[in-house]
Chain A
């Protein structure tokens, strides 16, 4: 007689399979319930969810459920009782299993009877794979989640104006996302405040893409984020400036070390600031003065001047000789420093620092990032190579480290500035790179640069193209601004001609309650004020 544990094997496998099938349905139901909650929260605008999240949660439920069903242990006692029930064995298996190996009384015939009955059973008949309420529930919940999600995201229920506004916001959201994409790569080097702002920006971008914010709220949020980005960029630039000062100090120390190594006093560098021509003139002047003094002394000796006068002359001669000696030393220091400065690696560093400083100044002055991310990346690579080459030189390392930090801060500052500029451009906000409210966002992307400057084709003139331009041919990112008027320019249409129309639209908006209550008064006062003029 086959032991029950062995005889149960084929049923156990089947049970696992069927359990897994059911557990998948249970897991899917749980996942779909979570998806339904997410869809509801998305609909209520409490969290922003993409279809992939809903699918992910549901699939995760399905997989976890399926696995749990597969790995869950099937006890022999449970299996025996279950088989008794399902196959109508009238508790033969459960009793026989309990009395397995029992040879007294009815033990043996009982086990034979159970074994015989068990051998006639087919696992797939006893445990058929069928659709349960859980399967129906899972499908229903998935359908509900999908319906709720679509309900919250479909533009079909919106009016034409609302649809247009949503499209506009979605375009803006895509643009913000494009701005954020390169920045996200540098997330690791960000401060906590920058990371928080980045998270806000990401959320803002998604809100825009889903069209879940009103235009006014989007403007307000963009304004806040832009201010924050500018503040963070300014902080980074300040830090970069400090780093550059540190680099300067480190460079001075480096030169002093070089002088010391050459056997010269550390302050010899100060003297060596004069040019070789200046040094020559000074030397000639000192030699001439020394000759004159020598003559004067001889004349004084010959005239029998008093010892006091002679002593004074002697002191003057000593001083002149000392100056001449210092001059000779400064020449040597200059040569030493010259040698250092002519070192190609040092030269490279100097150029790097200068370039960084210049571009940072330009950035801050223009309010626009002047250093392209590619340039910064190139600089960073250059710096890292030098750090590797000069890793034994402690003073040089200090200098390089300061430069590296400056570079990083400049890079981060540039990113912050880019964000602020892009937000200002996208939402017609004042600030950023100093555009006026008249500027309006149209599109971003890449253009092919031609030899001749590209001519903007907008509906209104003038059209301007802003952004850092590369003199070489190729592609680069651009933001195209099409503006009806520019700051400082004048429109040809008197505002009184357009005011009634605008005022009417504003009143209509007020009547429709499109404008938040707290701003209604402002809007009315604005138009009243215009009429008075």
Chain B
């Protein structure tokens, strides 16, 4: 077998192994689990939006467990200060009696960070968190502290109880690779959850990969080739969200206030590459991009009041954009 083919097979096997282990703790939510893993393989942070108690924290913790990575959880509250997230300098007494400032690393210094209810923190704290997410290092007292790779932040936010919250500004939202909507479990899934949590303890997830494996997953994902026409298709979806300009779609002209940024295109293509590998292919297809359009772009488009009045959600909007791009994408040989 060729090395590249080995890589692809290893990617799939590892990914499936992690997924399977997570499945031991998380019942249902297959799509969310898969997309979180895609975010992990793509080196992108994930924003999870869902009601409390849907297993978001458990998901992150299990993920850390299966990968053997460090995990920390930050519960965002209005009084949370940036130093509470990034860490702070404290005065310490050294053995010789000397005093010195020592940087105490905050909870952000972990491989997997769960930023729970991120929208409850003040913008100042949110900024500190998001800056660290973007830059992948923390600067304190003039010193720079690198965040060790892999570094993945999974932020959650509650779609209800918006009073007293600080919704993330668009620029900050754009830093998340994916925004995943955590749905209610189905009746069957719910039965599984109840059975698993109220009955005898089942098998615990075990570590099936490590830090190096995650880094290798990222490396392999980047090597997947994409054809020019497929790339054009993905870019058409991205520019199709723009309310004006070349490639704008009619629905965007009507409902969008702001369209996706270039980061959206990067996320879409990277996610497409991983989806291709998961599908056992060595190339990105248009279908991969189609599949990844919602999680990669839904938090990057800002809809106007008319959309809200018409009940057009970001997902519906993106579906229509994709449909319009599909309609324009014709068979080059019309025979």
B173 at the interface (CB under 8 A from A): no
- For residue B320, give the distance in angstroms from its CB to the closest CB of chain A: 21
Contacting residues, chain A, for B279 (C-beta < 8 A): 90
B224 at the interface (CB under 8 A from A): yes
- For residue B290, give the distance in angstroms from its CB to the closest CB of chain A: 11
A137 at the interface (CB under 8 A from B): no
Contacting residues, chain A, for B229 (C-beta < 8 A): 77, 81, 91, 94
Contacting residues, chain A, for B225 (C-beta < 8 A): 95, 98-99, 102, 105-107, 110
| A90–B281 touching, CB < 8 Å | yes
Mark the stretch among A15-23, A372-380, A401-409 that contacts chain B: A15-23
Which of A19, A22, A97, A110 touches B282 (beta carbons < 8 Å)? Answer: A110
Indicate whether A108 sits within 8 Å of B331 (C-beta atoms), given known contacts A91-B283, A91-B284. Answer: no
| A98–B331 touching, CB < 8 Å | no
Which A97-129 residues sit within 8 Å CB-CB of chain B?
97-99, 102, 105-110, 113, 127
| A109–B5 touching, CB < 8 Å | yes
Contacting residues, chain B, for A15 (C-beta < 8 A): 333, 335
Return the CB mask of B214-249 against A: 1 if under 8 Å, else 0: 000000000111111110000000000000000000
Contacting residues, chain A, for B228 (C-beta < 8 A): 94, 98
A171 at the interface (CB under 8 A from B): no
- For residue A81, give the distance in angstroms from its CB to the closest CB of chain B: 5
A212 at the interface (CB under 8 A from B): no
Contacting residues, chain A, for B331 (C-beta < 8 A): 81-82, 85-86
Which of A18, A22, A82, A96 touches B283 (beta carbons < 8 Å)? Answer: A96
B96 at the interface (CB under 8 A from A): no
B286 at the interface (CB under 8 A from A): yes
Count of B residues near A, CB < 8 Å?
A: 25
| B287–A90 touching, CB < 8 Å | yes
Which of A90, A96, A109, A113 touches B285 (beta carbons < 8 Å)? Answer: A90
Whole-angstrom CA separation of A82 from B170 in the bound complex: 39
Which of A99, A102, A106 touches B8 (beta carbons < 8 Å)? Answer: A106
Which B263-292 residues sit within 8 Å CB-CB of chain A?
279, 281-287
| B333–A110 touching, CB < 8 Å | no
A92 at the interface (CB under 8 A from B): yes
Return the CB mask of B303-335 against A: 1 if under 8 Å, else 0: 000000000000000000000000000011111
Whole-angstrom CA separation of A348 from B223 in the bound complex: 102
Indicate whether A82 sits within 8 Å of B333 (C-beta atoms), given known contacts A91-B284, A108-B2. Answer: yes
Which of B5, B223, B230 touches A91 (beta carbons < 8 Å)? Answer: B230
| A108–B4 touching, CB < 8 Å | yes
A525 at the interface (CB under 8 A from B): no
Whole-angstrom CA separation of A164 from B282 in the bound complex: 81
- For residue A194, give the distance in angstroms from its CB to the closest CB of chain B: 53
- For residue A1, give the distance in angstroms from its CB to the closest CB of chain B: 13
Indicate whether A82 sits within 8 Å of B332 (C-beta atoms), given known contacts A98-B228, A105-B225. Answer: yes
| A113–B230 touching, CB < 8 Å | no
Contacting residues, chain A, for B227 (C-beta < 8 A): 91, 94-95, 97-98
| A106–B285 touching, CB < 8 Å | no
Indicate whether A95 sits within 8 Å of B284 (C-beta atoms), given known contacts A81-B229, A105-B225, A106-B224. Answer: yes
Contacting residues, chain B, for A92 (C-beta < 8 A): 281-283, 285
Which residue of B has the minimal Cβ distance to A85?
B331
- For residue A26, give the distance in angstroms from its CB to the closest CB of chain B: 10
Which residue of A has the minimal Cβ distance to B230?
A91
Whole-angstrom CA separation of A68 from B281 in the bound complex: 38
| A22–B230 touching, CB < 8 Å | no
| B8–A95 touching, CB < 8 Å | no
Which residue of A has the minimal Cβ distance to B1?
A109
| B4–A105 touching, CB < 8 Å | yes
Whole-angstrom CA separation of A98 from B283 in the bound complex: 11
Return the CB mask of A258-297 against B: 1 if under 8 Å, else 0: 0000000000000000000000000000000000000000
Contacting residues, chain B, for A102 (C-beta < 8 A): 225
Return the CB mask of B19-62 against A: 1 if under 8 Å, else 0: 00000000000000000000000000000000000000000000
Whole-angstrom CA separation of A105 from B283 in the bound complex: 11
Indicate whether A127 sits within 8 Å of B335 (C-beta atoms), given known contacts A90-B287, A106-B223, A113-B282. Answer: yes
| B333–A79 touching, CB < 8 Å | yes
- For residue A86, give the distance in angstroms from its CB to the closest CB of chain B: 7
A192 at the interface (CB under 8 A from B): no
Whole-angstrom CA separation of A96 from B284 in the bound complex: 11
Which residue of B has the minimal Cβ distance to A97?
B227
A78 at the interface (CB under 8 A from B): yes
Whole-angstrom CA separation of A106 from B335 in the bound complex: 32
- For residue B80, give the distance in angstroms from its CB to the closest CB of chain A: 44
Return the CB mask of B169-207 against A: 1 if under 8 Å, else 0: 000000000000000000000000000000000000000
| B283–A19 touching, CB < 8 Å | no
A183 at the interface (CB under 8 A from B): no
Contacting residues, chain A, for B333 (C-beta < 8 A): 15, 19, 74, 78-79, 82, 127
Contacting residues, chain B, for A77 (C-beta < 8 A): 229, 332
- For residue B91, give the distance in angstroms from its CB to the closest CB of chain A: 52
Which of B8, B282, B335 touches A18 (beta carbons < 8 Å)? Answer: B335
Whole-angstrom CA separation of A378 from B8 in the bound complex: 96
Q: Which of B4, B224, B228, B283 has the most CB of A within 10 A?
A: B283
Given A19-B334, A22-B334, A92-B283, 10 more A-B residue pairs with CB atoms under 8 Å apart are: A18-B335, A19-B335, A82-B332, A90-B285, A91-B230, A97-B227, A98-B225, A106-B224, A106-B282, A107-B225
A sample of 16 cross-chain residue pairs with beta-carbon separation below 8 angstroms, ordered by A number, consists of A19-B333, A74-B333, A79-B333, A90-B279, A91-B229, A92-B281, A94-B229, A95-B230, A95-B284, A98-B225, A106-B224, A106-B225, A107-B225, A110-B282, A113-B282, A127-B333
**Which residues of A are at the interface with B, using a C-beta cutoff of 8 A?**
15, 18-19, 21-22, 74-75, 77-79, 81-82, 85-86, 90-92, 94-99, 102, 105-110, 113, 127
